[in-house]
Amino acid sequence: MADEYKLVQLRNGAQAVYSAHYDEKMHPGLGPAAEAELLYVWQLKIPERMHEGAGEFVVWDVGLGAAANAIAVLRATREISRPLRVVSFDDTAGPLAFALDNADTLGYLRGYETAGKALLEGGQTQFSDGVRDVNWEFHLGDFPAWLAAACEDTRPTNAVLPPPHAIMFDAFSPAKNPAMWTLPLFTNFFRRLDPTRPCNLTTYSRSTMFRVTLLLAGFFVGRGVATGLKEETTVAANTLALLDEPLDHIWLERARRSDSAEPLHTPTYGRNQLSPASLEKLQAHSQFSA
C-alpha cells in the first residue's frame, strides 16, 4: 500500500490522495473536503431532501476511495433528525486504510476515525452522530458484477439493499477504469431505482459520452456545478424535478456532431460518434421529445 498511494498537495494547498495504479488524484480540483461537499452533498441536495421526508434516507457511495464523500455527507447532516444509511462500494479498501493512516494530514477524517476503522475492519458500523442514527456499510468487490446480480435478484425487496435516494458516483476516469462507465452498468443503476422514490446521481465528468450513457440508461440529465479543474459537472435523476439545468436541444445537436458521444457498450475505452440507433433513442427521450 505504501507504493500504491501517496499524499499530494494541490494548488490551493489541500492534501489529496494519489493512486499509482490509475495514475490519478482523488478530488484533484478543490481537494477532498471542499470538492466532496460541493459536488456531492450540495449538488445532490442531500440536507434539503433529508429535511423534506421521513424514514431512512439511503445514499449509495459508489467509489468509496478514501471516504471523503461519505464523510462529507455525515458532517453535513448531523443536525437532521432522520436516520441515514450510507452504502459504500469499492473494489479495494486500500485508499481508506491509507487515509486513516494519514488522517491528521488530510484533515477531513477528523472525528470519524473510529467509524472509518470499524468500517475497514468489519464492513459495517452503526453509531449515533449528532441528532440522528447512522448505518454505514461497505461492500468490497466487483461493483458492476454485484449490481448486475442485484438486478436479477427475485427475492423480496428487503433481502437486497434498499434503492437509493441519492448516488455519489466517483470512479476513476473512463480511460483508466472503463468497466465503471458502461451503458449496461448505468442501465442496471436505473433498474435498481424505485420509480416512486426520487433519486439523483452526480459525478465529476461532463463528457458527452457519459451524458449520452445516462440518457440512454433512462435518466434525465442536467448540467452541474464547477469544481476547480472542471468548469461543469453532471447531475442526473429519475425525475426532472431534481434537475436545476436540464440538457436541452442545443446540447443534443452538439452531441450529434461530437466525435466522442457513443456510450461504452463493453469495458473497453474508445471514442466514437453516435450510432444511428443511439441518436434515434436520444431524440425519442422524453427530455427532448416534448
Q: Using one digit for the tens of pLDDT, what is the confidence trace for 191-206?
A: 999 999 999 999 999 9
Compute the average pLDDT of residues 85-102. Answer: 97
254: CB partners within 8 A, 6+ apart: 208
Alpha helices in 81-142 (DSSP H): 94-101, 103-106, 113-122
Question: What domains are defined for the chain?
Answer: 5-289 (3.40.50.150)
185: number of Cβ within 10 Å: 22
pLDDT tier for residue 158 given thresholds of 50, 70 and 90: very low
The helix (run of H) or strand (run of E) holding residue 57 is: strand 57-62
Nearest C-alpha neighbor of 166 from the set 67, 25, 13, 50: 50
Compute the average pLDDT of residues 15-39. Answer: 94
Give dist(CA 115, CA 123) in Å, integer.
10
Give yes or no for a contact between 32 and 66, defined as CB atoms under 8 angstroms apart: yes
The whole model's pTM is what? 0.95
pLDDT over 70 for what percent of the chain? Answer: 97
Supply φ then ψ for residue 61, to 5 degrees: -110, 90
Give dist(CA 62, CA 90) in Å, integer.
7
Nearest C-alpha neighbor of 180 from the set 227, 146, 131: 146
More reliable by pLDDT, 230 or 261: 261
The pLDDT mean for the chain works out to 94
pLDDT at residue number 155: 59
Long-range pairs of 178-181 with CB within 8 A, sequence gap ≥ 24 = 178/264, 178/267, 178/268, 178/269, 179/144, 179/267, 180/63, 180/143, 180/144, 181/210, 181/213, 181/264
Length of the chain: 290
Q: Using one digit for the tens of pLDDT, what is the confidence trace for 161-215?
A: 899 999 999 999 999 999 999 999 999 999 999 999 999 999 999 999 999 999 9
Give dist(CA 260, CA 215) in Å, integer.
15
Compute the average pLDDT of residues 237-246. Answer: 97
284: CB partners within 8 A, 6+ apart: none
